[in-house]
Structure 1
Amino acid sequence: MKTTSVKISGNAFEGKRTKISGPKETDAKGEYIITVDSTSTGDIIVQNIDMREWNGGLIRSDGGKSVILQDSLLVGGGTIIHNTDGILNIQSDEFIGDGLNVPIDPFIFATKGSVNIYNSLFKKGSFKGDRNGCIVCCGTVTQCTIDECEFTENKFNVGSAAALITTPTCIQMIIKGTASKRTIFSGLDVKNPLKGHFIKTVSSKVSISYTDFADSIFTRKGNAITINEQQASELSLIWCNFTNLRTNSEGQMSSCIHSILSSENGFQFNAEYCIFSDCRYSGLSQVSGNAITIQSQSSDRSAVRTIRFTECIITNNRGNGYGSIVVDVGSKCTINVIDSFFNENSGIEANDIWIRSTNNPTELNISNFNTSYSDNNLHS
Structure 2
Amino acid sequence: MQSPNVTFALDNSCNNICDIVLTDAEHQETIHIKKNVTVQVSGLNTTSGKRIKISGPQETDGKAQFIITVDSTSTSDITIQNIEMGEQHGGLIRADGGKSISLQDSLLTGGGTIIHNTDGQLDIQSDEFIGYGINVPIDPFIFATKGTISIYNSLFKKGSFKGNIDGCIVCCGIVTQCTIDRCEFIENKFNSGSAAISVTTHTCTQLIIKGTSNQKIKFSGLDEKNPISGHFIKTVSSKVSISYTDFIDSTFSGQGNAMIINEQQASEISFIWCNFTNLRTNSGGQLSSCIHAYLSSENGFQFNAEYCIFSDCRNSGSSQVSGNAITIQSQSSDRSSVRQVKFSECIITNNRGNGYCGAV
Range of TM-score over shorter length: 0.7 to 0.9
Q: 1:194 aligns with which of 216, 223, 228?
A: 228
Structure-2 change in CA distance of 1:185 and 1:234 (3 Å)? same
Q: Please tell me whether the aligned partners of residues 264 and 295 of structure 2 are also in contact (alpha carbons under 8 angstroms).
A: yes
Q: Distance in 1 between matches of 2:196 and 2:188?
A: 8
Q: What SS class does the counterpart of residue 67 from structure 2 fall into?
A: strand
Q: Please tell me whether the aligned partners of residues 125 and 155 of structure 1 are also in contact (alpha carbons under 8 angstroms).
A: yes
**For residue 52 of structure 1, what is the aligned residue in structure 2?**
86
**For residue 172 of structure 1, what is the aligned residue in structure 2?**
206
Equivalent residue letter for 1:127: F
Q: Distance in 2 between matches of 1:153 and 1:36?
A: 32
Q: Please tell me whether the aligned partners of residues 325 and 359 of structure 2 are also in contact (alpha carbons under 8 angstroms).
A: yes
Structure-2 change in CA distance of 1:41 and 1:249 (3 Å)? farther
Q: Distance in 1 between matches of 2:283 and 2:331?
A: 24
**TM superposition shift of 1:21:** 3.6
Q: 2:261 aligns with which of 218, 224, 227?
A: 227
1:135-160: per-residue Cα shift (whole Å, max 9, x none)? 00000000000000000000000000
In structure 2, list runs of 5 or more residues that go unmatched: 1-33
Equivalent residue letter for 1:322: C
Provide the TM-score with structure 2 as the length reference. Answer: 0.87
Equivalent residue letter for 1:7: Q
- Which deviates more, 56-65 or 6-15? 6-15
1:208 aligns with 2:264: no
Q: Distance in 1 between matches of 2:144 and 2:56?
A: 25
Q: Please tell me whether the aligned partners of residues 107 and 135 of structure 1 are also in contact (alpha carbons under 8 angstroms).
A: yes
Equivalent residue letter for 1:145: T
Provide the TM-score with structure 1 as the length reference. Answer: 0.83
Q: Distance in 2 between matches of 1:302 and 1:232?
A: 12
Q: Please tell me whether the aligned partners of residues 185 and 213 of structure 1 are also in contact (alpha carbons under 8 angstroms).
A: yes
Cα root mean square deviation, aligned: 1.7
Q: What SS class does the counterpart of residue 216 from structure 1 fall into?
A: strand
1:217 aligns with 2:255: no
**TM superposition shift of 1:252:** 2.5
Equivalent residue letter for 2:205: I
Q: What SS class does the counterpart of residue 141 from structure 1 fall into?
A: strand
**For residue 16 of structure 1, what is the aligned residue in structure 2?**
50
1:5 aligns with 2:38: yes
1:308-361: per-residue Cα shift (whole Å, max 9, x none)? 100000000000241000xxxxxxxxxxxxxxxxxxxxxxxxxxxxxxxxxxxx
Q: Distance in 1 between matches of 2:231 and 2:61?
A: 30
Structure-2 change in CA distance of 1:23 and 1:170 (3 Å)? closer
**For residue 292 of structure 2, what is the aligned residue in structure 1?**
258
Q: 2:95 aligns with which of 46, 49, 61?
A: 61
Q: Distance in 1 between matches of 2:58 and 2:97?
A: 30
Q: Distance in 2 between matches of 1:50 and 1:28?
A: 24
**TM superposition shift of 1:25:** 8.8
Q: How does 1:113-192 map to 2 (within 5 A)?
A: 113-192=147-226
Q: Distance in 1 between matches of 2:237 and 2:89?
A: 32
Total equivalences in the alignment: 325
1:245-301: per-residue Cα shift (whole Å, max 9, x none)? 000143430000000000000000000000000000011111100000011000010
Structure-2 change in CA distance of 1:264 and 1:100 (3 Å)? same
Q: Please tell me whether the aligned partners of residues 218 and 249 of structure 1 are also in contact (alpha carbons under 8 angstroms).
A: no
Q: What SS class does the counterpart of residue 151 from structure 1 fall into?
A: strand
1:322 aligns with 2:354: no
**For residue 82 of structure 1, what is the aligned residue in structure 2?**
116
**TM superposition shift of 1:53:** 1.7
1:110-129: per-residue Cα shift (whole Å, max 9, x none)? 00001000000000000000
1:238 aligns with 2:272: yes
